[in-house]
Structure 1
Amino acid sequence: MDSANPSPNSPPSKKIKLNDALVNLTATEVPAPVPVAAPVASGPRPRQPGVAPIKPEYLLPNEPNSRANVVFDDDAAEQASSKDGDSKNNGKNKKRGQNKNRRLHQGRDTVSLCEFIKLAAEVATPKATPTCPYGAGCKYEHDLSVYVAAKPVDLDGVCPVFSVIGWCPSGLKCRWLGSHFDSINQKLVINDTKRAATKDISSENGRLNGQVLNDLQRKKYVFEKSDEIVKYLDKVIDFNQEKRQATKDSMAQHVEVPIYFAAEKKRLDLRGKYIVSPLTTVGNLPYRRLMRTLGANHTYGEMALSLPLIQGQKSEWALTRSHAEENNAFGVQITAGKHWQAIKATEAISDLVGGGLAEINLNCGCPIDLVYRAGAGSALMDNAGKLARIVRGMSAASGDIPITVKIRTGTKDSNPTAISLANRLINDGQTAAITLHGRSRQQRYSKSADWNYIGEVAKTVKELGQAKVEEDSRAVRPWVVGNGDCYTWEDWHNAVDNHGVDSVMVARGALIKPWIFEEIDSKQYIDKSATERLEYIKQYCNFGLEHWGSDEYGINQTRRFLCEFMSFTHRYVPIGLLEYMPPKMNDRPGNWKGRNELETLLGSNDYKDWVKISEMFLGPVGDGFDFKPKHKSNAF
């Protein structure tokens, strides 16, 4: 019998105790978990498929723009359509797809301060104080007091960044300037002790200097390994296309490229790890830091396109950054339509980002139309030879960093190809891990992930991988990771225990319910209070200010990405409001109210309420901020 739903014949005291437990649940006081196998629904109302079973006392009449009328478009969440509107209905449903005409402009200072004066306020010793060489002829403001007076009024409290690391990188632009500015001596305050103590733990990896980006942009960056690797693979392609035997002449020009098997690289360990999937837009560095504090063992950056990386696009290289807390547990994910693009991007990443990287992942499952038509993403699953060639080249270019692959079941529902692809990758012996999303490209999110097929692939990988290891000691049995619809601790353990995967990559489940790994670890549902959930938002804001800055630009960036994050978190229906367990990610709730006003506010699907929540930690919205939700399903 479902422990959360006592029988009507149970003693009154027992029923009261259980009901109180669900309402007042805390992280340490939780009812016994309900097995996935056969939850028995008892109560006055049967559970309706696809409908979140909210207790009657928390349901409200449905109104226009209420939760009950919102369609969660998870195709749009993965940017599945390159057009404004859903690709399946040609944009007829205006509540689906993406808002393409969003303005993401930023405000500017009313008074522009001279950089030399700005620098003078930041240096610690008078001897090193710089002066403006242009003197009175400088077109920027030299009077620091005038600049400070023209700034918007400081936000209340102490600068969140200064309080953590002992100094503020945003300097005079900080919106909490008064908390770390000596107005008498016209100097920024620096806590040298705290700054020294937090130097290593507050740093970020992958910040490229302007000269490196300039070299990439001007094609002056030297790819020492890639040119030889590409030359070799080009000859292999020519040989296969012309279907001829190699002549003595071609043999003389042959370039031998060393093969780096997975066993010869840094060892990657994904067994039982709590893994956060690469997530478009919302999988940024502050979000990953939050997930690390909430139990995640392994994280991935957002998918980066290889060609813009090679061309030195700053926005693309931002996707390869990681925090010190992610060292040796972070993977950069790339995709490419041509082998030379993937190889050069891999060499640049391993050389410039290197150190703390655990792996470089090749995305062979992205369903985005624009990516697919370029022969990248899920298009690689239709060309096993090309995919294997790219992995081989990446492995040769990555040094000691392991290469991993993420795939789907196939491009079409009727033709799953993951098993044959896994076979090819295992035979080559250069893939350290294979992650399988249990849906085809055609399917997108229209059906549940096929975990039975994931189990078949896992069995194949383990059997073929073991045989490969016995045949060649340089090879390893690739880790096999499942992906798709993991929303509860029961989903995760069912996948590992019954479908044979080494671990599960969690995507939407970790966005909607960031504490999911805490539940997985404890094997029980945790009814987080609204106050606890608000604390996570505060933590995210602080991480965002550290990453993007505590000036007006940084606050706007943090606010914008917080709102994108809340386009998922608002979908969470608290456990204490449910009649039946387990909760299901794809169940849609009616219009409901929380147990208090804050809980109701956190569940609002109105993005204006998300902005209101952001003001609790980032101050009032200024004139320079304008936000429209990325996905139309959240707007009205």
Structure 2
Amino acid sequence: MEAPPTDWKSFLSSDNDGNAKIKTEYIFEKTRTLQVCEKESGDSTNVQPANGKPNKKNKARGQNKNRPRRPLELNSEKLCPSKVTGTCMFGEKCKYMHNIEDYMKIKPTDIGDKCHAYRTHGKCNYGFTCRYGGDHIEKNENEYINQTNNEKELQNPMPVITNSLPRELQVGLRKRKVNFDRTVEALKCIEQHHAKRKKGEVILTPNENARVDHQTDIKSSVTTGPILDTDVISLRKCEKKTIDFRNKLYLAPLTTCGNLPFRVMCKQMGADITCGEMALATNLLQGQTSEWALIKRHPCEDIFGVQLCGAFPDTMSRCAELLNKNCDVDFIDINMGCPIDLIYHKGAGSALMRRTNKLFDVVTGMTSVLDIPLTCKLRTGIESKKNIAHNILPLLRDSGVSLATLHGRSREARYTRIADWSYVSECAKVASPMPLFGNGDILSHHDYYSALEHTDVSGIMIARGALIKPWIFTEIKEQRDWDISSTERLDIIQKFANEGLLHWGSDTRGVETTRRFLLEWLSFLHRYIPVGILETVPQRINERPPYYVGRNDLETLFASPNSNDWIKISEMVLGRIPDNFSFLPKHKANSYK
């Protein structure tokens, strides 16, 4: 095995042919093209035409929007939730079953004989509907009983998930009865700034404006006695919470895959900062339950943030005030880097980078209503050859942003080009003293420490690297190349499944929801190449591996790019798939060089 090169730039740029170097004894000799595998997996968007020339119109990027979305087919006869939670609210009008004995006769067979919730916390909240119910359901004199272990329940109670949407708040949002007093005041100040701009008056940033107002107050007043701190430093009405972000491992907000079970798993492996999936501000303000599910927080997430996406200062400020009042959040992040067309054409995501006046209003409004830090995540620019982040970062710094994260690619580049870390380092100098985190192509502890040592960033955000190998946080903290075995990787997948069953439920619907998100994650996880197979360490994120055979059958199965093999892996931890089940990943992870 070759030693890793000493030049740090070799980790952050690519000058080879884009293929990973694997030991010859593991390379799969039978010739198979990538197009055949993609055809087997049901993804026909990546298949080249017969003439051999790629079709630019059919180039695979973004999302598989035409993927099959078969609704989950459950039994027509379902047990009423009141048999688990309490009294039925609908009485005789309820369409669900209330006879537990009749339900147990038609209930699907159990997946396994050990319920993770019951074995860990002494209680399963899904009771008779649990697909592992044989572990805690007993029949006693023609009566079924859902057992609980009181001793274990006291020792290790169920984790309390926060940031759920209360019914009263949901009704208030839909009837528009929620007060946004601080947002109204902030929007009035923004309108006054616009009026001054039209008159040609000089517009100062909030920090500069506060200093000028304070100096004016001092000159217009007569002071006697000793000088106090309040005479020199203008105090805010409420002191904002501060967070020391520097040199912490930051798990990026990952759409679809950055769910709560995945974040919990990454926390167990060493992540310091976690952030929820991108949430649309308008959907949160409308009280959509599915959108509020994206901001739920696990007790183990000690530094947790919510990423908001929006295009207008009124909706973003109202949403920030709503979360500030009703949710347990340490910071709020503005999404300024999303490249998806649906978001971009609405003026949100990376489109905010070309709408600097609107961006200034968004940041000003949100900082005015928040008592917690405000952060931003952005890209180098819209077009690949026109970097504009260095012009935006000073604006964010002067507007009160506590932290900015720069992804070293433009919107046009998406994920198919190498991240420009030299430009990230330049931007870190421009943004100072505001801390700037770098993001892009970090897949090993070599990449991480080289970027910290040879650039001016204050920390690193890890995104796809965590999806490909979640144990990267352990590698970074222990500074080693972990040659993880296939059984250890299967144990990690089992941990994710267990957390998913706790979060989404261990009934039929919860099991299939867990399976769907597991398969989405496996569409990235298969790209990992074991350290013992590599000829040159470390693995590079944009290098495509040749077809290879692992050191055992399980390791070979993990390396398969075929979605049918991912389904086989899911069956190892979640049981047999339903009839007529099919899967195609939401995102096209074809970001090789």
Per-residue deviation, 1:209: 2.0
Per-residue deviation, 1:260: 9.0
Which residue of structure 1 lines up, in the alignment, with residue 27 of structure 2? 59
Give the Cα–Cα distance (whole angstroms) in 2 for the partners of residues 458 and 605 of structure 1: 38
Tell me, what secondary structure is at the counterpart of 2:250?
A: strand
Which residue of structure 1 lines up, in the alignment, with residue 254 of structure 2? 279
Which residue of structure 2 lines up, in the alignment, with residue 85 of structure 1? none
**Are positions 1:144 and 2:144 aligned together?**
no
Which residue of structure 1 lines up, in the alignment, with residue 386 of structure 2? 415
Give the Cα–Cα distance (whole angstroms) in 1 for the partners of residues 352 and 198 of structure 2: 18
Give the Cα–Cα distance (whole angstroms) in 2 for the partners of residues 305 and 111 of structure 1: 35
Tell me, what secondary structure is at the counterpart of 2:181?
A: coil
Which residue of structure 1 lines up, in the alignment, with residue 373 of structure 2? 402
Kindly report which structure 2 residues correspond to 1:184-583, keeping only aligned pairs within 5 A, or say none.
Answer: 184=140, 185-199=143-157, 202-241=159-198, 243=200, 264-327=239-302, 329-354=303-328, 357-399=329-371, 401-428=372-399, 430-462=400-432, 465=433, 478-583=434-539
Per-residue deviation, 1:455: 0.6
Given that 1:104 and 1:627 are in contact with CA atoms closer than 8 Å, whether structure 2 keeps it comes out as no
Bigger shift: residues 521-530 or 414-423: 414-423
2:378 partner letter: I
Given that 2:67 and 2:584 are in contact with CA atoms closer than 8 Å, whether structure 1 keeps it comes out as no
Q: How many residues align?
A: 542
Per-residue deviation, 1:70: 6.2
Alignment CA distance shift 1:262-1:298 (3 Å): farther
Give the Cα–Cα distance (whole angstroms) in 2 for the partners of residues 287 and 359 of structure 1: 20
1:372 partner letter: Y
1:505 partner letter: M
Render the CA deviation track for 1:132-170: whole Å, top value 9, x for unaligned: 9957x8754342111111101122221112222221122
Gaps of 5+ in 2: 44-53, 204-212, 214-233
Give the Cα–Cα distance (whole angstroms) in 2 for the partners of residues 343 and 574 of structure 1: 46
Give the Cα–Cα distance (whole angstroms) in 1 for the partners of residues 9 and 248 of structure 2: 27
Give the Cα–Cα distance (whole angstroms) in 2 for the partners of residues 381 and 96 of structure 1: 20
Give the Cα–Cα distance (whole angstroms) in 2 for the partners of residues 608 and 105 of structure 1: 19
2:367 partner letter: S
Bigger shift: residues 202-211 or 526-535: 202-211
Give the Cα–Cα distance (whole angstroms) in 2 for the partners of residues 163 and 550 of structure 1: 13
Give the Cα–Cα distance (whole angstroms) in 1 for the partners of residues 33 and 175 of structure 2: 51
**Are positions 1:107 and 2:63 aligned together?**
no
Which residue of structure 1 lines up, in the alignment, with residue 586 of structure 2? 630
Tell me, what secondary structure is at the counterpart of 1:420?
A: helix
Per-residue deviation, 1:439: 1.2
Tell me, what secondary structure is at the counterpart of 1:573?
A: coil
Bigger shift: residues 437-446 or 227-236: 227-236
1:575 partner letter: V
Tell me, what secondary structure is at the counterpart of 1:107?
A: coil
Give the Cα–Cα distance (whole angstroms) in 2 for the partners of residues 114 and 386 of structure 1: 49
Alignment CA distance shift 1:412-1:145 (3 Å): same
1:486 partner letter: I
Tell me, what secondary structure is at the counterpart of 1:576?
A: coil
Give the Cα–Cα distance (whole angstroms) in 2 for the partners of residues 146 and 232 of structure 1: 64
Alignment CA distance shift 1:237-1:216 (3 Å): same
Alignment CA distance shift 1:263-1:421 (3 Å): farther
Alignment CA distance shift 1:267-1:593 (3 Å): same
Tell me, what secondary structure is at the counterpart of 2:532?
A: helix
2:66 partner letter: K
TM-score (norm: length of structure 1): 0.79
Per-residue deviation, 1:616: 1.3
Give the Cα–Cα distance (whole angstroms) in 1 for the partners of residues 37 and 177 of structure 2: 54
Given that 1:110 and 1:151 are in contact with CA atoms closer than 8 Å, whether structure 2 keeps it comes out as no
Per-residue deviation, 1:61: 2.7
1:390 partner letter: V
Gaps of 5+ in 1: 6-32, 41-46, 77-87, 124-129, 247-255, 466-477
Given that 1:272 and 1:503 are in contact with CA atoms closer than 8 Å, whether structure 2 keeps it comes out as yes
Give the Cα–Cα distance (whole angstroms) in 1 for the partners of residues 238 and 425 of structure 2: 25
Per-residue deviation, 1:187: 2.8
TM-score (norm: length of structure 2): 0.85
Give the Cα–Cα distance (whole angstroms) in 1 for the partners of residues 156 and 336 of structure 2: 38
Kindly report which structure 2 residues correspond to 1:155-166, keeping only aligned pairs within 5 A, or say none.
Answer: 155-166=111-122
Tell me, what secondary structure is at the counterpart of 1:204?
A: coil
Render the CA deviation track for 1:434-477: whole Å, top value 9, x for unaligned: 11111111222232111111111112222xx2xxxxxxxxxxxx
Give the Cα–Cα distance (whole angstroms) in 2 for the partners of residues 62 and 588 of structure 1: 17
Alignment CA distance shift 1:289-1:460 (3 Å): same
Give the Cα–Cα distance (whole angstroms) in 1 for the partners of residues 172 and 37 of structure 2: 51
Given that 2:8 and 2:450 are in contact with CA atoms closer than 8 Å, whether structure 1 keeps it comes out as no
Give the Cα–Cα distance (whole angstroms) in 1 for the partners of residues 36 and 483 of structure 2: 22
Tell me, what secondary structure is at the counterpart of 2:358?
A: helix
Given that 1:406 and 1:435 are in contact with CA atoms closer than 8 Å, whether structure 2 keeps it comes out as yes
Given that 2:8 and 2:451 are in contact with CA atoms closer than 8 Å, whether structure 1 keeps it comes out as no
Alignment CA distance shift 1:583-1:132 (3 Å): closer
Give the Cα–Cα distance (whole angstroms) in 1 for the partners of residues 493 and 547 of structure 2: 23
Tell me, what secondary structure is at the counterpart of 2:547?
A: coil
Which residue of structure 1 lines up, in the alignment, with residue 47 of structure 2? none
Give the Cα–Cα distance (whole angstroms) in 1 for the partners of residues 514 and 452 of structure 2: 36
Alignment CA distance shift 1:196-1:89 (3 Å): farther
Per-residue deviation, 1:571: 0.6
Per-residue deviation, 1:588: 0.9
1:404 partner letter: T
Given that 2:419 and 2:440 are in contact with CA atoms closer than 8 Å, whether structure 1 keeps it comes out as yes
Tell me, what secondary structure is at the counterpart of 1:485?
A: coil
1:188 partner letter: N
Give the Cα–Cα distance (whole angstroms) in 1 for the partners of residues 405 and 185 of structure 2: 29
- Match 1:153 to one of 109, 121, 130: 109
